[in-house]
Structure 1
Amino acid sequence: MTRHDSAQAQPLAELIASGKLRPATATGPVPRPSGSERTDREAGELLRELSEDERY
């Protein structure tokens, strides 16, 4: 037999009410990163390096 729990009607509202989740308070667009951009490597090269790093 399998036990099925009914889905919560308002899961986010319940998490907020319990204090386990705080809603976002910032409004407007997400700020863009500041500073200079690195242009010394191509995206494909960087992705290959990151992929190789994850293997070890």
Structure 2
Amino acid sequence: MTERIAELAQRLVIGHKSDGRCVYDEQAKCELVKLYRETGVSVAKLARDCGVNANLLTT
């Protein structure tokens, strides 16, 4: 599973806006939420491993 998380983390951020905010790949974001729901790993741990805010996974 760690390899899957690492692979998703690499694909997640596809760019940055002019104000510095990240632009996320929609498919990778959906896969990340699906991974969270399937595995039962805490939102905080999964978000930390992927380098994103936990709010990204819960909204």
Larger Rg: 1
Which structure features the higher share of helix residues?
2
TM range (shorter): under 0.3
Which structure features the higher share of strand residues?
2
Q: What's the TM-score once normalised by structure 1's chain length?
A: 0.23
Q: What's the TM-score once normalised by structure 2's chain length?
A: 0.23
